[in-house]
Structures are given as structure tokens and as C-alpha cells.
Amino acid sequence: MEKLKIPYPIIVEGKYDKIKLESLIDADIFVTDGFGIFTCKEKKLLFKKLAEKRGKIIILTDSDGGGILIRCHLKSFIPADKTINLYIPSVKGKEKRKRYPSKEGVLGVEGMEKNIIIKLLSPFTSPEFTKVGNIKKSTLYKLHLTGWENSSELRQILSLHLGFPKHMTPNALLSALNVLYTSEELEKICEKLFS
């Protein structure tokens, strides 16, 4: 099955939600780290930048109380005209990887059937979709941002400079950079920062 191509960044709660979506769609997917979004100023700034750069951002949180609280918090700092709110149905059950059901006993994004997620996201596909940036993992390697002894430290410096969250993995950094910058722009930024 060919993956849906979604031109807007998507915000989900956690890494398992992201993994589920990555198996179905081609999009830039970011996580709130659950309630971590409440205290991470850098991540809030990043989400605002993503919405501004792409025009819209999709919010897809769980349908339980926690998901609603996270969604409300996201809506408090991302302008309403920049958000697309998608809602999964409230389905009783438990995710396969979990021993027990959630507190409310409903499935989250990670536990939703594939066809439900595809149906939700299908209206937002675009045949003209292309990634904004042309930054590859090899670009990060060339700039010493991954694969080198001091790469972690350099990513921290770059993230701080760009207003990104601390401790972003190379893959998360790559996704964010590709929404906001071209390879040439990143090289100029790194040249100023590290020379």
C-alpha cells in the first residue's frame, strides 16, 4: 500500500503514536512527549514555527481526558487559523503492547485501526507534496551533527540557537530542519555557529 502524503506537520502525544502514523503516511510527525509539552518552552516555539512555515499543523491526540488536555494546551499557543484538529473515535480496548488498558479504557492513536486513521487523514493529502528542505542524514554527518564524537554537543548548540527542544534525536532534528530550512541555509547557520 502506498503511503498517504500529508503536506502538514502532525503533532501526536507519544513515540508509539508516531510509529503508527509513520507506517501509514509520509509526513513530518512530532511528539508532545505527553504532558512534557506543558513545561518545554522550546518545543512550544518549534510547534509555532512549524505551523507558520507550513501554514497549518494537524493535531491528533488521544480521545481520553489526557489527550483533550494536551490538545487544549496546544491550542493555547498555536493560532486557531493554523490548526487542523482531527479526532479519533472513543473505542474501548487496550493497546497490544500494554499489559493493562488506559485509565479510561479507550484506545489511543497507536491502537486505532489503520483504516480509521487513513480515513481521517485522506482529506489532507496533496499530490504536489514535497518536503520543504533537502536535508539528508548525510548532510547532518557532513556538518558533524551525527556520527562524530562531539555530534551530540553540536546538536545541542544548534538546537539552542534555533530555539528547538534540547536533546532532540538526530531523526527528530532532521524532521524539524526539513520543515524550516534548506540544506544550504543549514550549512550557513552551522558555518556561523561552529567556525
Helices (H), the chain: 15-22, 41-54, 65-77, 114-121, 137-142, 151-162, 170-180, 183-194
Q: What is the mean predicted confidence (pLDDT) over 158-183? A: 84
C-beta of residue 67 within 8 angstroms of C-beta of residue 91: no
Per-residue pLDDT at 128 exceeds 60: no
pLDDT in tens, 60-88: 999 888 999 999 999 999 999 999 999 88
At 145, the amino acid letter reads L
Confidence label for 179 from pLDDT (cuts 50, 70 and 90): confident
Q: Which residue has the cell 548532510?
A: 139
| Rounded-to-10 torsion of CA 90, 91, 92, 94 | -110
Per-residue pLDDT at 129 exceeds 60: no
C-beta of residue 114 within 8 angstroms of C-beta of residue 74: no
pLDDT in tens, 24-74: 999 999 999 999 999 999 999 999 999 998 889 999 999 888 999 999 999
Which position has the higher pLDDT, 57 or 92? 57
Three-class DSSP category at 76: helix
**Phi, psi of 63, rounded to the nearest 5 degrees:** -95, 10
162/73 Cα distance (integer angstroms): 23
Torsion over CA: 146, 149, 152, 153 (sign): negative
Give me the chain's average pLDDT, please.
Answer: 89
Per-residue pLDDT at 131 exceeds 60: no
Domains of the chain listed by start with CATH number: 4-124 (3.40.1360.10), 137-194 (no CATH)
Neighbours of 175 (CB within 10 A): 22
At 110, the amino acid letter reads E
C-beta of residue 115 within 8 angstroms of C-beta of residue 89: no
59/56 Cα distance (integer angstroms): 10
Of 68, 51, 58, 145, the C-alpha closest to 104 is: 68
Residues in the chain: 195
Give the pLDDT score at 127: 53
